[in-house]
Amino acid sequence: MNDVSPPVIRPARADDLDAVLAFWKTAAEGTSISDDRAGVERLLARDPETLLLAELDGELAGTVIAGFDGWRCHLYRLAVHPGRRRRGVGSALLAAAEERFVRLGGRRGDAMVLIRNERAQHAWRAAGYAPEEQWRRWVKPLTD
């Protein structure tokens, strides 16, 4: 494997979804109620360019969801394969997401990061993000 070249970043397609869902089980921390094929299909149907994939040597190496609702820029599922970490994959994904946000008129990106995920907190800080301790996430499941 040659990891010297930068990752190829591209939007996910419908035929990528099974691989992405399997990838998240290996590379992502935590799960969400919408981390299933139907949830990701709805995401791509609403915004086909929101789920970005990073490939190295033709293999899936990372993901990020760069969601923009017309007002705010939200980052989800930044995940890099454990064997591909510390090789610029996460940085390339965030750069692509931030470029997307700017192109769409976004002014600030935010990310939800698990408190216990110290590796992720370090990565987000290194990318220039900072926690806003005055905010707390509130959630309510809408289905059983």
**What 3-state DSSP class applies to 2?**
coil
| Segment 84-99, tens digit of pLDDT | 998 999 999 999 999 9
What is the pTM (predicted TM-score) of this model?
A: 0.91
Amino acid residing at 1? M
User: DSSP state, 71?
Assistant: S
| Segment 106-140, tens digit of pLDDT | 999 999 888 898 989 999 999 999 999 898 888 88
Domain boundaries, the chain: 8-126
**Topology (CATH level 3) of domain 8-126:** Aminopeptidase (3.40.630)
Cα 1 from Cα 95, distance rounded (Å): 24
Cα 109 from Cα 102, distance rounded (Å): 10
Q: Which residue has the tokens 């990565």?
A: 123
Cα 58 from Cα 116, distance rounded (Å): 32
**pLDDT over 70 at 4, yes or no:** no
Give how far Cα 106 sits from Cα of 3, 54, 58, Å.
32, 22, 31
